[in-house]
Amino acid sequence: MNYLNLWGATIVASLQNLWIQLLGFLPQILGAIIVLIVGVIVAGMLGKLAARVIAMAKVDNLVQSTGVTDEFRKIGISFSLSKLLGWIVKWFLIIATLIAVVDILNIGQVTLFLQDVALYIPNVIAAIVILTIGIVAGNFVRQVVHKAAEASKIPATAAGPLSAVAKWSIIIFALLAALVQLHVAAALIQTLFTGFIAMLAIAGGLAFGLGGQDKARAWLDRLDREIRS
């Protein structure tokens, strides 16, 4: 009977201690919940506000004029820079809110993880900028190469593929650079980048070599005649 009383007293004491700890932790839980709710609401509002301000600045029209929107539409993606930046602002603030919440709850490991996520966001923005510049530059180079080919009286059947190769070479280059910025298999991407550059060099050498062999032969014949004369 004494053992039963002792066990009962031990269980009651444990439950009392647990209840006291829970009551002591309850203000932190309530504070964390309030911060989370307010933070998510504010993040959503500021994200929408940022998207509207950027849209009012006609940034989407500027991006569309560069051909970036059309390139994303070709692969089934509806691209809007204002919405994208608004989404980034929203989630940056949500992550900042989560950092504050876990800090209130004294969860150190989660705080460090969320801080790493927040510090990774600038890499995402830089990758988006790199890819966007690559697409813009690719479209510009395609037009330049196509007009230069037409001015050189190169057949349209050759000018089209030549300008397309120039365009996609730059876009792929930008894509690889964006992946490196995101630290996605950096060693593999650098290897692919090196191989891609080597492939372009070999392909360009073969193209100029095979396509210009007649002119090269004529130039060498003329040089030989001038030397002999």
Query: pLDDT at position 113, please?
Result: 76
145 three-state secondary structure:
helix
Q: Pick the most confident of 85-94, 191-200, 214-223.
A: 85-94
Q: Would you say residue 221 lies in a domain?
A: no
Q: Would you say residue 146 lies in a domain?
A: yes
- Amino acid, single-letter form, for residue 144: V
215 three-state secondary structure:
helix
Tokens, residue 14: 């444990």
Q: Would you say residue 212 lies in a domain?
A: no
Report the distance separating Cα 121 and Cα 115, nearest Å.
10
Query: pLDDT at position 191, please?
Result: 72
Q: pLDDT tens-digit profile of 79-121?
A: 788 888 898 889 889 988 888 888 887 776 667 777 777 788 8
Q: Taking the CA of residue 148 as centre, how many other CA atoms within 13 Å lie in the half-sphere pointing to its CB?
A: 9
Expressed as residue numbers, the domain containing 124 is 2-205
Mean pLDDT over the full length of the chain: 75
The larger pLDDT score, comparing residue 65 to residue 10, is at 65
Lowest pLDDT segment from 34-43, 64-73, 126-135, 203-212: 203-212
Q: Would you say residue 211 lies in a domain?
A: no
Q: Pick the most confident of 84-93, 134-143, 168-177, 205-214.
A: 84-93
Tokens, residue 58: 């006609």
18 three-state secondary structure:
helix
Lowest pLDDT segment from 23-27, 88-92, 208-212, 225-229: 208-212
Query: pLDDT at position 126, please?
Result: 86
Q: pLDDT tens-digit profile of 39-70?
A: 999 999 999 999 999 888 888 787 777 777 77
DSSP state of 22: H
Q: Would you say residue 32 lies in a domain?
A: yes
DSSP state of 155: -
The larger pLDDT score, comparing residue 215 to residue 150, is at 150
Instruction: Report the domain count for the chain.
Output: 1
